[in-house]
Structure 1
Amino acid sequence: MKHAASIIVLGTLLAGSACHTLERSREVDNPAVAGKTIAMQICSNCHGMTGVSVSPFFPKLAGQQREYIVDQLTDFKNHRRTDPNGVKFMWGFTHLSERQINEIADYFSSQQPALGKADDDQLISEGRAIYAHGLPDKGVAACQSCHGQRGEGEGAFPRLAGQHSDYVVKQLMVFRHTDARPRGAIMKEICANMTEREMQAVAAYVEAFPAETKEAVSTPDAEKEAVATPDAQ
């Protein structure tokens, strides 16, 4: 009986300790809270536990470029990124430390990217052409020159593969019409020369880009090589 009573007491103490730890972990303004904990308990409410958001209102973060996440969180913290949704949902995170920001970025960038989905074949086809070749007559560079042939992104240039098309269009419009994203000078110039249809096409294409594929988007040079050296029949 004494042994059983001891187990019950120990269990009660451990349970109480766990609850206390959970409550403290939700004190996100506490610099001692790990960034991973913030990601799993706070960020996950909008972006999903593994960074795969359900609503296109919030971007997918799984597999996103680490440097890009750090840059955006830093801009939100310092109130430099002023797009409406950023102000509404992210400006409250002024307490994040540099360590926490880096740990949040580590967590989401290490998650498995989500698969994209195909919808409008015609729109996707138009988007593929713009992504691979740009719009030379408008001075719009190929998207893949910064975001990678597979939409994987690099460094400060974000991953686009599998991202919600609605979110992509919304951000392209922010770049086009505002200065709300301070690191978006390049994109502002590009978007100024794109129609809304062209933005929608690119967005549809990158959302449909399968995250796990190794098939690269064909480039003009690659196409020339393919013509010059056809596969043996």
Structure 2
Amino acid sequence: MDHAVSVGQRRKEPEVMRRVGLKMALLAVVAFIAPAAAWDGLNVKNCTWCHGTSGQGYMVAPRLAGQRPAYIFKQIRDFREHTRDNPFSRQYMWGAVAALDPGAARDLAAYFATIQPKPANDGDPTLAAAGRTIYMEGIPEANIAACYACHGPNGVGVRDIPRLGGLAYFYLKARLEQWGQGYHSGVGTPMPIVARQLGPAEIEALASYLSFVR
């Protein structure tokens, strides 16, 4: 917290943001004291170190801003329980959330959900139309249902089903490829089954389209 901020100003801050500040500080402490091997030599200070000061993400670290709070909370739990098991989850997130209790996780989820999300706009615009068709109509001949059936027509998600609209192309592409390789994002998710039926061109188109969705 900025020491230049007066006591009076701090009292006016929303309670959840004050609590989140404390939780992020806790993450910083955990990162500094964690074994070097667990952090691959990196000084991971807090959520915003990888996900950006406004939660908009950096390529492999997804945008958290505007994400469904129930989804963020569930993912933190899945990281802690090691059921989200892709390589970056193992390398970074398993250790990052190890000290977070459920209350802290809910505070972080609530905080990031209040930030206005910005679309990444980093996909291939020439593939956006094909990606939109896959998203809205699925691929009937491959028995793949339309993505919007779960994620909504604008990719905003619902409850613990994530918001996809505007996420970075690189992140979306990597996640679809990892699901196809057999990695998981939690217990009971259908995504590994769905992703295994998507070819490289279909993944490219879908990830490109979603990166432009507002």
TM-score interval (norm. to shorter): 0.7 to 0.9
Determine the structure 1 residue equivalent to 2:64. Answer: 61
Q: Determine whether 1:195 maps to 2:199.
A: yes
Q: Determine whether 1:90 maps to 2:93.
A: yes
| Whole-angstrom CA distance in 2 between matches of 1:183 and 1:68 | 13
| Whole-angstrom CA distance in 1 between matches of 2:202 and 2:129 | 11
Determine the structure 1 residue equivalent to 2:143. Answer: 139
Deviations 1:82-124 (A, max 9, x none): 1110011111121101100000000001110113416523211
Shift of 1:35: 3.1
Determine the structure 1 residue equivalent to 2:19. Answer: 34
Determine the structure 2 residue equivalent to 1:115. Answer: 119
> Could you tell me whether the CA contact under 8 Å between 2:123 and 2:207 is conserved in 1?
no
Normalised by the size of structure 1, how large is the TM-score?
0.71
**Whose radius of gyration is greater, 1 or 2?**
1
| Structure 2 runs not aligned, ≥5 long | 7-17, 26-44
Shift of 1:36: 4.0
Normalised by the size of structure 2, how large is the TM-score?
0.78
> Could you tell me whether the CA contact under 8 Å between 1:35 and 1:101 is conserved in 2?
no
| Whole-angstrom CA distance in 2 between matches of 1:74 and 1:163 | 21
> Could you tell me whether the CA contact under 8 Å between 2:67 and 2:113 is conserved in 1?
yes
User: Following superposition of structure 1 onto structure 2, how do residues 69-80 of structure 1 map, counting pairs within 5 Å?
Assistant: 69-80=72-83
Deviates more, 1:179-188 or 1:121-130: 179-188
| Whole-angstrom CA distance in 2 between matches of 1:178 and 1:189 | 9
Q: Determine whether 1:149 maps to 2:153.
A: yes
Deviates more, 1:35-44 or 1:153-162: 35-44
Q: Percent identity?
A: 31
Determine the structure 2 residue equivalent to 1:158. Answer: 162
Q: How many positions carry a matched residue from both structures? A: 179
Q: CA RMSD in A?
A: 2.0
